[in-house]
Structure 1
């Protein structure tokens, strides 16, 4: 009975180790560039199931929001330089 359990344990370890050896993510093209795609990941992403299909209108909203943030921050910094105190709500 001990031999059967030992044999099953060894077989389980070998099965897990073979799966781990299949993909380890450590094949480096150059030092510091060790990314590699998982098996089955397409070479071309556009048109595949991994394509994020970003909506240009949504991307534009984010860009406009960031520009508004930068404009508000510029007003806050200009006010702080002029008055010597930082005020969050500058209109």
Structure 2
């Protein structure tokens, strides 16, 4: 009787394993079907990323140019203020 129970238990476990294996195979087939679409999406995202990276580089260049222009304008304003204050004080001492 013990052998029979043991054999039934083994058969039940084997059937459970068989079901698990079939489920895994179905999962693998499902993934395999979706894979080409996902790979093309990955390539599409890589292209979008490369474009965005290029846009960031361009914007950074523009930002640096604006920063340089701003620095020059600030320097011009400082020079004008210095001239104005110099003339103002000279007029006070006349």
TM-score range, shorter chain: 0.3 to 0.5
Give TM-score, length-normalised by structure 2: 0.35
TM-score with structure 1 setting the length: 0.36
Q: Which has the larger radius of gyration?
A: 2
Select the structure with the greater relative contact order (CA < 8 A; seq sep ≥ 6). Answer: 1
Higher helix share: 2
